Amino acid sequence: MNQSCLNPPRTRPAAKARMRTSRGFTLIELLATMAVLVILCTLAGTQFSSTVGNNRAYTAQSELVASLALARSEAMKRGMPVGVSATLPTSNNEFGGGWIVWLDQNGNGSYDAGEQVLRSHEAMPASSVTLSGPSSPITYGAMGFLTVAGTVNVKVCPVSLARKGFGIAIQPNGLADVDPAVACP
């Protein structure tokens, strides 16, 4: 008898071995991968939330400083008082409800109906940033100086886990200085 007929070629066991190695992932491997993915997403989400809060605080302070600069320049240009006041002041978040820059046509230092609004700013999301400052208007005289004696301070803080915010100090000469590392509560 022919020896090759008794012993067929051994191609079948090799094919079965290949099939076993290409089955996919086991349940344990999949669960371990998912656990690592959940941990990484949690860490990234926390960091992302903090970054978004810091960016919103930076934007809020930039827009408030721009409104203050507009009020000062309009007061000097027009030769009459211009004020910046909170539209919906609440305790510890006076400018969080938005603010307006207005022309103080009667010179009384407060916004009255009929006075021209030069710029208005919408409310900031209270869940992301707080803007605490004076409850009375910030008014610039015709020469661009503050009408009140002394420095006026406004604090812009993110509500996120970050504990540093921005401090805006409006000097008696009308210029605003920004401190980017003010402690927030």
Q: Quick check: is 118 in a domain?
A: yes
Q: List the one residue out of 73, 79, 135 whose CA is nearest residue 104.
A: 79
What is the pLDDT averaged over residues 62-66? 94
Angle made by CA atoms 133, 110, 89, in degrees to the nearest 5: 35
What domain range includes position 126? 25-183
Q: Quick check: is 16 in a domain?
A: no
Q: Quick check: is 4 in a domain?
A: no
DSSP secondary structure string, 53-114? HHHHHHHHHHHHHHHHHHHHHHHHHHTS-EEEEESS--TT-TTTT-EEEEE-TT-SSS--TT
Q: What is the pLDDT of residue 2?
A: 58
Question: What tens digit of pLDDT does each residue of 166-181 get?
Answer: 999 999 999 999 999 8
Whether the pLDDT of residue 11 is over 60: the answer is no
Q: List the one residue out of 71, 173, 84, 181 whose CA is nearest residue 134.
A: 84
Q: Quick check: is 9 in a domain?
A: no
Q: Quick check: is 109 in a domain?
A: yes
C-alpha to C-alpha distance for 108 and 156, rounded to whole angstroms:
28
How many separate domains does the chain show? 1
Question: What tens digit of pLDDT does each residue of 108-117 get?
Answer: 988 998 999 9
Q: What is the pLDDT of residue 142?
A: 93
Question: For the domain that residue 89 is a member of, what is the CATH number?
Answer: 3.55.40.10
Query: What pTM was computed for the model?
Result: 0.75
